């Protein structure tokens, strides 16, 4: 988690807030130490600027505790640096993203002119604490969710998956895919009403004819009459040959 957030301008702390009970709290909360530390961090930043090939300083590790320090230099305002201390529960990439969010909102809440004309009092930027707290609460929530997911995955790894019995090979072989034409919908091609008994043989064929309405498919007609789909299809095919039907 992130423990401290400090905003430094020209080697002086504009904003400083401790958000935890870490052992480094007193060191950063005392004004004299804070000014000295801010000057040190500003000097480090100037050092990295002097050697562009080395790149910028993004992280420092303190040897006497588990805290790390992450830096972010604001490109919009000269010598404006955002600093966060954090422990092993947070990752550098997440801390850097939070610092970017903080920097964006800081310049939204306070203009460059206000920052440049700062009167030296830390209380001037104190209202910004609530915004920083919101970012940290969100980061803590995400970290907790990730931890909970890892715990869930750990315990879930011991749960055996439900094994679905496979169908016997003989049953699989007997399953035939339904032909595509069973979904065809027979429609009349003529408005002239005919007597199916003159053209069709058998009571079932006449019943199939009576079910044709331009909406029911071969499968639906077969289910309605409790007939085989192929039988219904053959009746429709005969009516097509006679010019009374077509398939939609």
The answer to whether residues 114 and 95 touch, using CB atoms and an 8 Å cutoff, is no
Out of 21-25, 84-88, 113-117, the most confident range is: 113-117
Q: What pairing do the DSSP bridges indicate for beta strands 68-73 and 80-86?
A: antiparallel
**Side-chain-side CA neighbours of residue 221 (13 Å):** 29
pLDDT tens by residue, 94-121: 888 889 988 888 988 888 888 888 887 8
Q: Which CATH number fits domain 2-144: 3.90.320.10, 3.10.450.350, 3.30.450.70, 3.40.190.10?
A: 3.30.450.70
pLDDT tens by residue, 177-201: 667 778 889 888 877 677 777 777 7
Domain boundaries, given as residue ranges, for the chain: 2-144, 180-247
pLDDT tens by residue, 124-178: 888 888 888 888 888 778 777 776 777 767 666 655 555 555 555 444 444 456 6
Percent of the chain with pLDDT over 70: 72
- Rounded CA gap, 8 and 163, in Å? 60
pTM: 0.51
Residue 180 confidence (pLDDT): 78
> For residue 16, what are the CA distances in angstroms to 50, 80, 132?
27, 14, 11
């Amino acid at each position: 988690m992130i423990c401290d957030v400090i905003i430094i301008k020209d080697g002086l702390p504009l904003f400083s807030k401790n958000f935890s009970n870490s052992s480094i709290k007193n060191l950063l909360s005392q004004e004299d130490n804070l000014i000295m530390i801010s000057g040190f961090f500003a000097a480090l930043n100037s050092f990295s600027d002097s050697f562009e090939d080395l790149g910028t300083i993004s992280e420092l590790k303190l040897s006497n505790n588990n805290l790390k320090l992450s830096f972010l230099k604001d490109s919009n305002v000269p010598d404006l640096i955002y600093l966060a201390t954090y422990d092993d529960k947070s990752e550098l990439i997440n801390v850097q993203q939070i610092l970017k969010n903080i920097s964006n909102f800081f310049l939204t809440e306070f203009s460059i002119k206000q920052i440049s004309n700062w009167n030296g009092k830390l209380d001037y930027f104190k209202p910004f604490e609530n915004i920083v707290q919101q970012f940290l609460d969100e980061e803590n929530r995400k970290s907790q969710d990730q931890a909970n997911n890892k715990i869930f995955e750990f315990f879930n790894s011991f749960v055996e998956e439900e094994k679905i019995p496979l169908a016997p090979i003989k049953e699989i072989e007997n399953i035939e895919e339904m032909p595509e034409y069973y979904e065809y919908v027979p429609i009349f091609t003529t408005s002239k009403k005919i007597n199916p008994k003159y053209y069709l043989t058998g009571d079932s064929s006449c019943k199939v004819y009576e079910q044709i309405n331009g909406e029911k498919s071969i499968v639906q007609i077969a289910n309605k009459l409790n007939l085989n789909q192929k039988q219904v299809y053959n009746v429709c095919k005969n009516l097509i040959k006679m010019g009374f039907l077509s398939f939609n």
